[in-house]
Structure 1
Amino acid sequence: MVLKKIDNMSLMDVSKIISMLQPSEEEEERDSSECRELNRVVSKDDDALLSMLLSQECYKKFINSRCGWGVPVTPLRLAASLGHLRCLEMLLSYGAEVDSLDVKAQTPLFSAVSGKHVDCVAALLKAGANPNGSLHNNCSPVLIAARDGDVDILHELLQHGAEVNVRPKVPDWVSSGSACRGPLYLAAVYGHLNCFKLLLLYGADPNYNCTDKKILARIKQPNSVLETCLRYGCGAEYVQLLIDFGANIYLPTVVTDKTTKQNKAIALLLKERVCPKTLMCQTRLAIRSYLPVANKMHSIDLLNIPLTLRNYLKHIT
């Protein structure tokens, strides 16, 4: 039975895992002095020496090779994880592969986001890095930034078209609600209000982080983001934002724990249920719903309407 479940997993392509674990011809030579020297220089953030080395063909041919103890990494991956911007930019200028994968299917961008190195994140995105990371990784840069509350990094990712409603990849047979825990959910649970609002501005679904019908069908009681905010006592600010962005306020059940925060949030919710939205609010929701999720903020700026109305559509007061 267990083997059958593993066979049906869509978490990662097994053949892809095997191919990533197999060293390339260059990586079979990763213990060479040239490869080790590149990583040593990167670890010291010595961009001048790195440039001198990469100008020599005997070193440049190792620019995309993985080496080192534990998880072998490319020089670019190492620079991204350490936050060594000068070396990272130098490697990119010499043609380092911007979306190279390690054996964990993590890209240099994923490492920079995990390390909270916003300048490296910006440089990698400018160089064409995929803002969603690798399709073969369980997680994504947006999920990491939302969980950690890195609003500047999150903004960089969303500005470059990262998927705002991304969800973690789980096997088909998993029935827990973890499949629905997208960035908006994580920002709420971990108390990152600025990230929460930023995600909504860029088109995050105010009701569910997961729209996969197959997954939702496997969950006995799927919770909306609003229900999650009430359950975790996120406070009235979160509830107000969800109301403003058009969340469904008619929940099947409202669970209270008699905390001050939650009482305020529930009072706000109950008031909203009996007070219909103004025509302006309904119009804003209607217009925003017709804009594409990707690049929603850019689309608003392109509308031929007064600045005051553009700001209103972006929830700027």
Structure 2
Amino acid sequence: MDTIVLLYSQEIQHKIIAALMFGLRTHDEEERNLEIFLLRQAVLQNNDTALDEMLCQEIYKKVINCRGGWGIAGTPLHAAVSTGHLSCLQVLLAHGALVDSVDVKAQTPLFAAVRGKYLDCVLALLGAGANPNGNPCNNCSPVLTAAREGDVEILKELLQHGAEVNSRSKVLVWTSSARVSSGPLYLAAVYGHMECFKLLLLYGADPDYNCTDAKLLRSIKQPKTVLEMCFRRGCGVEYIQLLIDFGANVYLPTLIIEKSTKQNEAVELLLRERANPKALTLHCRLAVRQHLKKIDKIHRIEELEMPTRLLNFLQHKPAPSTAL
């Protein structure tokens, strides 16, 4: 109990009262301001011992999932992951904290952990059953955030736990006269995160993003494929080659030829691809991968009972060299 008293002061009382101005909280959250604040303070100070002692008391158990704090009001679990305090996160989960609780912007603790790049917290939340897609009411998603930030390890964990690889932002991006729904693949390309870009394609990202969604096509008169956006953004040839290898429709983009050498190389690559049909083996690979994506098994290719050479081929890995 002494630990709890130390966390509280006269100055803090005024801050707690002022916090009521932020609204968007439930009646219980406003009634239990002090208890909520004390829980958050224990978390923010990374005092897992005090936090555990407090949550053994009924008065604090009642507010374990209540929101508080300055700015974007969130639960104690949000406070733990936003600061990377794994031990406090584990204590909260052990005492029954809701793993998919939301703050006032519909952001889940997992979303906050991804945004903060705390891999250990991401793993703990996913292990506790957190929804890898976050909350549908949030404008963004964990996958979109990881792709934009170039955090390939976190992105891989999300995808392995079933996150939607073609996650859509609710915010439309305006480019020239076109509206574009920015997805993970688009963001990875724009921000130059090659490893994330390739990982997304390996997990079934649509290389013709923006041009295969009927609902989006009804609202966008001239949709832009990822391939065309790569040309417009001056992405390297390696991005174009990957999209082609993963089945992008090379006849969809409107070519804009610029004086950049890199851009000209990319255009030449696309023109060669348009003039030469794919080999039958490549069509077979695309067909197998598309089927695995359809039955939600694309992330389990390595478990298929087939020779290693074929597994490598399906995963776009180079064939192992044979010793002479």
Deviations 1:143-165 (A, max 9, x none): 11111111111111101101111
Asked whether the equivalents of residues 166 and 209 of structure 1 are also in contact (C-alpha less than 8 Å), the reply is: no
Shift of 1:254: 0.8
Please show how residues 106-255 of structure 1 align to structure 2 within 5 Å. Answer: 106-169=107-170, 177-209=178-210, 211-251=212-252, 253-255=254-256
Shift of 1:266: 1.4
Asked whether the equivalents of residues 122 and 154 of structure 2 are also in contact (C-alpha less than 8 Å), the reply is: yes
Asked whether the equivalents of residues 230 and 255 of structure 1 are also in contact (C-alpha less than 8 Å), the reply is: yes
**Identity rate, percent:** 61
Indicate how the Cα distance of structure 1 residues 298 and 202 shifts in structure 2: closer, same or farther if over 3 A, else same: closer
Deviations 1:281-309 (A, max 9, x none): 12111111111357544332232211221
Deviations 1:113-171 (A, max 9, x none): 11111111111111111111111111111111111111111111101101111111259
Deviations 1:236-281 (A, max 9, x none): 1001101110111123521022112212211221222223222221
- Name the SS of the counterpart of 1:26 in structure 2: helix
Structure 1 segments (4+ residues) deviating >4 Å: 176-179
Quote the Cα distance in structure 2 between the aligned partners of 1:210 and 1:52.
55
Amino acid at match of 2:161: H
Indicate how the Cα distance of structure 1 residues 294 and 156 shifts in structure 2: closer, same or farther if over 3 A, else same: farther
Shift of 1:199: 0.5
Amino acid at match of 1:189: V
Quote the Cα distance in structure 2 between the aligned partners of 1:228 and 1:247.
13
Structure 1 residues 37-46 or 256-265, which shifts more?
256-265
Amino acid at match of 1:156: E
Quote the Cα distance in structure 2 between the aligned partners of 1:50 and 1:252.
56
Quote the Cα distance in structure 2 between the aligned partners of 1:284 and 1:232.
29
Please show how residues 44-59 of structure 1 align to structure 2 within 5 Å. Answer: 44-59=45-60
Query: Which fold has the larger relative contact order, with Cα–Cα distance below 8 Å and residues 6 or more apart in sequence?
Result: 1
TM-score (norm 1): 0.86
Shift of 1:44: 1.3
Amino acid at match of 2:29: E
Asked whether the equivalents of residues 180 and 224 of structure 2 are also in contact (C-alpha less than 8 Å), the reply is: no
Structure 2 residue 88 is the aligned partner of structure 1 residue 87: yes
Indicate how the Cα distance of structure 1 residues 236 and 104 shifts in structure 2: closer, same or farther if over 3 A, else same: same
The corresponding residue for 1:71 is 72
Asked whether the equivalents of residues 211 and 224 of structure 2 are also in contact (C-alpha less than 8 Å), the reply is: no
The corresponding residue for 1:291 is 292
Gaps of 5+ in 1: 1-20
Asked whether the equivalents of residues 207 and 246 of structure 2 are also in contact (C-alpha less than 8 Å), the reply is: yes
Shift of 1:89: 1.3
Quote the Cα distance in structure 2 between the aligned partners of 1:105 and 1:313.
38
Quote the Cα distance in structure 2 between the aligned partners of 1:222 and 1:184.
15
Quote the Cα distance in structure 1 between the aligned partners of 2:103 and 2:125.
16
Quote the Cα distance in structure 2 between the aligned partners of 1:311 and 1:89.
38
- Name the SS of the counterpart of 1:291 in structure 2: helix
Indicate how the Cα distance of structure 1 residues 177 and 80 shifts in structure 2: closer, same or farther if over 3 A, else same: farther
- C-alpha RMSD over aligned residues: 2.0
Structure 2 residue 29 is the aligned partner of structure 1 residue 24: no
Amino acid at match of 2:145: I
Shift of 1:184: 0.7
Quote the Cα distance in structure 1 between the aligned partners of 2:143 and 2:313.
26
Asked whether the equivalents of residues 202 and 294 of structure 1 are also in contact (C-alpha less than 8 Å), the reply is: no
Indicate how the Cα distance of structure 1 residues 295 and 215 shifts in structure 2: closer, same or farther if over 3 A, else same: closer
Deviations 1:71-126 (A, max 9, x none): 22211011111111111111111110001111111111111111111111111111
Shift of 1:36: 1.6
TM-score (norm 2): 0.85
Shift of 1:179: 4.9
